[in-house]
A and B are shown apart, each in its own frame.
Chain A
C-alpha cells in the first residue's frame, strides 16, 4: 500500500521530516550525477561517422546529469539546514522532536533495528529475493514456487509461543495453498499462455 496522504496541504516545511535520510540520499545522488556527467563526456563522439555534432550520444545524459546535480545540491543544502549532517542518531532525534512537537509523536524513540516492522521487512525481502533470484533460476519452477509460498506463509503465521503440534492447521493450509499456486500458475502459463517457464 502506498503511503496514504491525509490531505493535500501540509504546513510543515518539507525537509524537516527526515534530514538525515535526505542528507545521505543527496550525497548519493550527487555522486550519481557526477558519474553520469563524466561517463557522458567520455562517450564516443562518433566523428568517424561524420555525425552532426549536436547529435552526439552523450549530449542528453550530460544535461540530465547537470539537472540532477542541481536538484541534489538543493536537497543537500536543505538537509544541512535541518541538521542532517549530524550522523549520530540522538542529536537528530533531539532536533526533530523539538521542532516536531506538534507532529506525529516521536517515532525515532525505538531504534530502527528493534522495530518489529524492520524484521518483517527483512524477512519479506529476504524470502522474495531467495525465490526470485536463486530458487527460480536453480530449481524446477513449480518446486521453487511451492517452497517459496509454503515457507513464506509458515514464517509469518507460525506462533513461536505455541508448540508445533498445536499449529498443524497452519502447515496444512500453507501446504495446500502452496501446492495450488505452484500447479495453477505453472499449468496456466505453460499450457494456456504457452510460455516457457524459467
Chain B
C-alpha cells in the first residue's frame, strides 16, 4: 500500500516539469475540442494522436493519449448540452438532461455542473484504478491458458450483451465476427498463415489502428454527412462555475455513479456510453425527484457525466492488469502502449509496477487539467461548434487516411481503413454494435493460442475447462449474460421476485 503511494509520488514527481505540464494542457484542450465536435470521437482522437506521438518517449506519449481520452469524453458534454447531439457516444445520456437545461437558458450552469461531475467521476475512476489494478493483476497471475480462453469468450459475449441491450444477438454476432477477423494472418503457435489467399499484406493480419480509425472515424464521417446540419442553440452562457451546494446536495449520486461507471468501464469492451446510461438509470430510480429527469434535472446530468468519466478509469484497469481493453478508446490506448514497448498484462505488476502508478499520476494530471480547462474559455470554445459539417468532415477523412497510413507507412492500411469504415457504417445502420467486433479483433489471438495450449495441457480432455474454480465463475457470468436477455428467464425471475416479496408481505 505505502509502496504504491511512494511509486505514485515518484510517478507524479517525474511529470512535474514545465514541458510535461505544457503537454498535459494542450493534449487535454485538444481532447475537449475533439470531444465537442460530433463526428470526432475519443477513439478517433487517441488513434490520431498515437500516430503523432509515436516518436516520443513512452511515458510522454501515453500521458498525451490519456489526456486526450479524458478530455474528449468530457468535451462531448458540451455539444450534448448545447446542440442536443452527443459529441461522443459517451455523452448521449448527458444530452437528456443537459439540453433541456440549456433551453431554459441555464447552459452555463449545465456546463459547470457537467465539468464538476466529470472531474469527480474521473477522480473516483482514478482511485479505483490505483486500488484495483495491482489486485487484479496479482490475481491474474494465477490465470492459465484455460482461464484466458474463458476470459476471451467472456469479454466478447458480455460486451455483445451490454453494447446491444435491445438486440444482444447482434452484439454476439459482432463479437464473434471480430474474433474471425483476428484469425486472418499468421497464427501464434506454428506461424502458419491463415486466410491470406496468397496476399502478402494480408498474411501480416489486420492491424488494429487502421481498422479502428476506419470503424470509428470514416464510419462517423458518413454518419454525420447523412443527416442535415442542425442549428446551434443561442443560449447565453452566464455563470459557469457551479455553486458548491448544487453539487454537495447530490453527493450520494456522485459516489454511486462513480462506482457504477468504473465497474461498467472495467467490463471488457463495454465503455463510457453504457457506463453513463447505467448510472443515469440508477440515479433516476434512486432519486427523490425522478419526475424531473429528462426535463433538465441537475442530478441526472451529474449522474451521466460522473458515470462516463469514471468509466475511463475503469476501462484502463483491465488494460493494465489483463491486457484486455475495457472500451474502444482504451483498445487504441493499449495498442499505443504496445507500440511504445510497454507490455500490459498480468506480468506488469512484476515487470514494471512503476508504470501502473505512472498511469495513475498521468490520470491525475489530466483530470486536473480537464477541470481547469473545462471551467475556463467556455465562450470562446463554443464557437468551434459552429463549424459546418461540410467543412469539418473532409478534414476528418484526410486525418483518417494519414492516421491509418502513418503508423507503418503501408498503403494497404489505408485500404483496411476504408473497408472497416464502410463495414462500420453498414453495421451501425443495421444496429450491430462496433465495440464487440473491435474487442474480438484483440481477443482473437488470445483465444486462439490459449485454447490450443490448454488442449495440449489437458491432453484433449474438456473436463478441466469446466471444473477449475475461476473457469466456473467465468462460465457462470457468460451463461448469465446470455440467458438474462431471454424472455423466459425474465418471466421466471419476475415470478421469483414476486414470490419473495409475497413472503415478506404475509408477515
Residues of A participating in the B interface, judged by any CB pair closer than 8 Å: 1-10, 14-15, 17-18, 21-22, 25, 29, 32, 36, 39, 43-44, 46, 49, 51-52, 54-55, 57-61, 63-65, 67-68, 71-72, 74-75, 78, 116-117, 120-121, 123-125, 127-129, 131-133, 136-137, 145, 148-149, 152-153, 156-157, 173, 177, 181, 185, 189, 193-198
Q: Return the chain B residue nearest A2 by Cβ.
A: B89
| Cβ of B81 to closest chain A Cβ, rounded Å | 14
| Cβ of B254 to closest chain A Cβ, rounded Å | 21
A55-B189, A152-B390 known; A15+B167 contact, CB < 8 A = yes
CA distance A120 to B228 in the complex (A): 9
Q: Return the chain A residue nearest B87 by Cβ.
A: A1
The answer to whether B222 and A125 touch across the interface, beta carbons within 8 angstroms, is yes
The answer to whether B85 and A71 touch across the interface, beta carbons within 8 angstroms, is no
CA distance A32 to B195 in the complex (A): 12
| Cβ of B435 to closest chain A Cβ, rounded Å | 10
A121-B226, A124-B225 known; A60+B452 contact, CB < 8 A = yes
- Of the listed stretches B57-65, B355-363, B393-401, name the one at the interface; the rest are far from the partner chain: B393-401
7 more A-B residue pairs beyond the given contacts A64-B179, A133-B415, with a C-beta to C-beta distance below 8 A: A3-B431, A5-B92, A36-B195, A59-B451, A132-B415, A133-B414, A189-B406
CA distance A2 to B95 in the complex (A): 14
B381 within 8 A of A: no
The answer to whether A44 and B192 touch across the interface, beta carbons within 8 angstroms, is yes
CA distance A75 to B164 in the complex (A): 15
The answer to whether A68 and B38 touch across the interface, beta carbons within 8 angstroms, is no
Chain A residues lying within 8 Å of B391, measured Cβ to Cβ, are 153, 157, 173, 177
B342 within 8 A of A: no
- Of the listed stretches B15-23, B113-121, B168-176, name the one at the interface; the rest are far from the partner chain: B168-176
CA distance A92 to B301 in the complex (A): 40
Chain A residues lying within 8 Å of B177, measured Cβ to Cβ, are 29, 68
A25-B430, A68-B176, A185-B398 known; A54+B39 contact, CB < 8 A = no
The answer to whether B169 and A51 touch across the interface, beta carbons within 8 angstroms, is no
| Cβ of A113 to closest chain B Cβ, rounded Å | 15
The answer to whether B281 and A193 touch across the interface, beta carbons within 8 angstroms, is no
CA distance A51 to B187 in the complex (A): 14
The answer to whether B183 and A194 touch across the interface, beta carbons within 8 angstroms, is no
The answer to whether A132 and B414 touch across the interface, beta carbons within 8 angstroms, is yes
B55 within 8 A of A: yes
The answer to whether B85 and A1 touch across the interface, beta carbons within 8 angstroms, is yes
The answer to whether B452 and A132 touch across the interface, beta carbons within 8 angstroms, is no
| Cβ of A101 to closest chain B Cβ, rounded Å | 19
Chain A residues lying within 8 Å of B431, measured Cβ to Cβ, are 3, 17-18
| Cβ of B90 to closest chain A Cβ, rounded Å | 10
A68-B176, A74-B169, A132-B401 known; A195+B418 contact, CB < 8 A = no
CA distance A132 to B419 in the complex (A): 11
Number of interface residues of B (CB under 8 A): 80
The answer to whether B169 and A71 touch across the interface, beta carbons within 8 angstroms, is yes
| Cβ of B60 to closest chain A Cβ, rounded Å | 14
The answer to whether B422 and A125 touch across the interface, beta carbons within 8 angstroms, is yes
Most buried by B among A8, A18, A124, A152: A124
A4-B86, A5-B277 known; A153+B192 contact, CB < 8 A = no
The answer to whether B418 and A129 touch across the interface, beta carbons within 8 angstroms, is yes
The answer to whether A128 and B223 touch across the interface, beta carbons within 8 angstroms, is no
25 sample A-B contacts, Cβ–Cβ < 8 Å, listed by A number: A2-B220, A2-B434, A3-B431, A4-B86, A14-B166, A14-B167, A14-B169, A22-B430, A29-B177, A55-B453, A57-B192, A58-B194, A60-B452, A65-B180, A68-B176, A117-B226, A120-B227, A121-B226, A128-B222, A133-B418, A149-B394, A149-B395, A152-B390, A152-B394, A189-B402
B378 within 8 A of A: no
A68-B173, A152-B394 known; A2+B223 contact, CB < 8 A = yes
The answer to whether A136 and B172 touch across the interface, beta carbons within 8 angstroms, is no
The answer to whether B409 and A75 touch across the interface, beta carbons within 8 angstroms, is no
CA distance A75 to B174 in the complex (A): 12
Chain A residues lying within 8 Å of B190, measured Cβ to Cβ, are 46, 49, 51, 55, 57
A49-B190, A68-B177 known; A128+B397 contact, CB < 8 A = yes
**Closest 6 pairs (CB-CB, A-B):** A14-B167, A156-B390, A54-B455, A152-B394, A124-B225, A57-B192
Chain B residues lying within 8 Å of A4, measured Cβ to Cβ, are 86, 89, 92, 95
The answer to whether B430 and A21 touch across the interface, beta carbons within 8 angstroms, is yes
Contact mask for chain B residues 261-274; partner A; CB cutoff 8 A; 1 contact, 0 none: 00000000000010
B residues 277-296 in Cβ contact with A at 8 Å = 277-278, 281
The answer to whether B281 and A8 touch across the interface, beta carbons within 8 angstroms, is yes
CA distance A85 to B429 in the complex (A): 19
The answer to whether B430 and A198 touch across the interface, beta carbons within 8 angstroms, is no
B354 within 8 A of A: no
Q: Return the chain A residue nearest B400 by Cβ.
A: A132
| Cβ of A63 to closest chain B Cβ, rounded Å | 8
Contact mask for chain B residues 87-115; partner A; CB cutoff 8 A; 1 contact, 0 none: 00100100110000000000000000000
CA distance A165 to B224 in the complex (A): 29
A75-B169, A75-B173 known; A128+B418 contact, CB < 8 A = yes
A49-B190, A198-B411 known; A54+B460 contact, CB < 8 A = yes
Among B183, B398, B414, which residue has its beta carbon within 8 angstroms of that of A61?
A: B183
A1-B39, A124-B225 known; A185+B167 contact, CB < 8 A = no
Among B55, B278, B430, which residue has its beta carbon within 8 angstroms of that of A194?
A: B55
Chain A residues lying within 8 Å of B350, measured Cβ to Cβ, are none
A14-B166, A67-B176, A145-B398 known; A132+B183 contact, CB < 8 A = no
